[in-house]
Structure 1
Amino acid sequence: MRPLRYSINVTIDGCCHHELGMPPDEESMRYWAEEMERADALLLGRVTYSMMESAWRRPPSGEWPEWMSDWERPFAEAIDRTWKYVVSSTLNDVDWNAELVRGDLGRTVRELKQEPGEGLRVGGVTLPLALADLGLIDEYEFLVQPVLTGRGPTLLAGLRERIELELVDRRDFRSGAIALRYRPTSTSA
């Protein structure tokens, strides 16, 4: 069975809006590129899929845009080629190495987890909340940024039940950010 990992950048006060945290730097982008390489597929909601596609899809020319730094390209290449399952009831089609997912979310994700492989990743805000409520997330991976925003959407706001976690990995960054990886404890599962 392959695990489902929820991965996201978050500020110290829990804000998970991508524009309110720290801009990516070379070290954090290298970290996310390495993590993306470990994923068999991504599970994304409509909003996150659209946002990621607009930023990281390779242009039809095959050339990355001029605004993209050399140190951002490994992440762009990794996410561009990774298979994506897009959960949406409003999209009619997806075409960025993707398959549209509809119907019973819990059943679908359980089936995807049963397939062999390294693991699945989920990002965003709304879909991970639904998956956490269903008890389907096997690891929570937060890149905690040394920023207080005092506003914006917060991580897993509206979670129905408390989930106890145990720390399984930690990595400190020169920027002051910390990557923390947690697993639900057996009492939470």
Structure 2
Amino acid sequence: MRPLRYAINVTLDGCCHHEAGIPPDEESMRYWTAEMERADALLFGRVTYEMMESAWRRPDTGTWPDWMGAWETPFAEAIDRAPKHVVSSTLSSVDWNADLVQGDLGQAVQQLKEEPGEGVFVGGVTLPLALADLGLIDEYVFVVQPVLAGHGPTLLAGLRERVELELVDRHGFRSGAVALRYQPAGRGAGGGDDGSFAGGDS
């Protein structure tokens, strides 16, 4: 069974808005590229899917835009080619190497986990909250930014039950950011409960 990994940037005061932290640099992009390459597939809600597509989908010309530095291209290529699964109650179709996740969320994600491979990467805010409530996330990666945002959405706000985690890895960046990798305490990777969720649009 392949694990479901949730990874996100977060400020010291818990803000998880994508513009709240330090802008990515070459070192952090290498880290996120490695995270992308660890995954067999990506799992997004609609908002995250559309945001990622607008930023990282290869143009029809086949040439990456001029604003993209050479150090950003490996990440762009990794996310562009990855298979994607999109949870949405509003989209009727998706492309960019993607398919829609339909029906019961818990059962659908459990089926994704039961496929062979190295792991599924989930991003965003609303969808990971639902997956955490269902006990389906096997690994949490928080890249903690040395910033106090003072506002914005906070990480996993509204989680129904306390989740005990065990630190399994730590990596520091020159920027002062720290990547912390956790697994749920007291169970092995791949666990989880069935359940339903109708709002996977972010």
TM range (shorter): over 0.9
Paired residues for 1:14-93 under 5 Å: 14-93=14-93
1:151 aligns with 2:151: yes
Deviations 1:6-31 (A, max 9, x none): 00011111110011111111100000
> Aligned partners of 2:114, 2:20: CA distance in 1, in Å?
36
Partner of 2:194: none
CA distances 1:77-97 after superposition (whole Å, capped 9, x unpaired): 000000000000100111001
Code of the residue aligned with 1:28 in structure 2: it is: S
Q: Provide the residue aligned with 1:160 in structure 2.
A: 160
- What one-letter code is carried by the residue in structure 1 that aligns with 2:185? T
Q: 1: distance between equivalents of 2:16 and 2:83?
A: 24
The CA deviation string for residues 45-87 of structure 1, in whole angstroms up to 9 with x for no partner, is: 0000000000000000000000111111100000000000000
What is the identity, as a one-letter code, of the residue corresponding to 1:58?
A: R
Normalised by the size of structure 2, how large is the TM-score? 0.92
Q: How much has 1:34 moved relative to structure 2?
A: 0.8
Q: CA RMSD of the aligned region, Å?
A: 1.1
Q: What secondary structure is seen at the aligned counterpart in 1 of 2:179? A: strand
Q: Distance in 1 between matches of 2:131 and 2:167?
A: 20
Question: Matched residue pairs, number?
Answer: 189
- Could you tell me which residue of structure 1 aligns to residue 98 of structure 2? 98
Measure the CA separation in 2 of the matches of 1:21 and 1:143: 10
| 1:136 aligns to 2:136 (yes or no) | yes
How far off its partner does 1:102 sit? 1.5
Task: Work out the CA distance in 1 between the residues paired with 2:20 and 2:10.
Answer: 9
1:147/1:114 CA distance change after superposition, 3 Å: same
**How far off is 1:187 after superposition?**
7.1
Compute the TM-score of the two structures, normalised by the length of structure 1: 0.98
Opposite residue 186 of structure 2, the aligned amino acid is S
State how far apart, in whole Å, the 2-side matches of 1:83 and 1:6 are.
Answer: 16
Distance in 2 (alpha carbons) for counterparts of 1:71 and 1:143: 19
Matches within 5 A, 1:118-129: 118-129=118-129
The CA distance in 2 between the partners of 1:36 and 1:170, in whole Å, is 18
Structure 2 CA distance, aligned partners of 1:83 and 1:129? 22
| Structure 1 letter corresponding to 2:109 | V
Partner of 2:195: none
One-letter code of the match for 1:127?
L
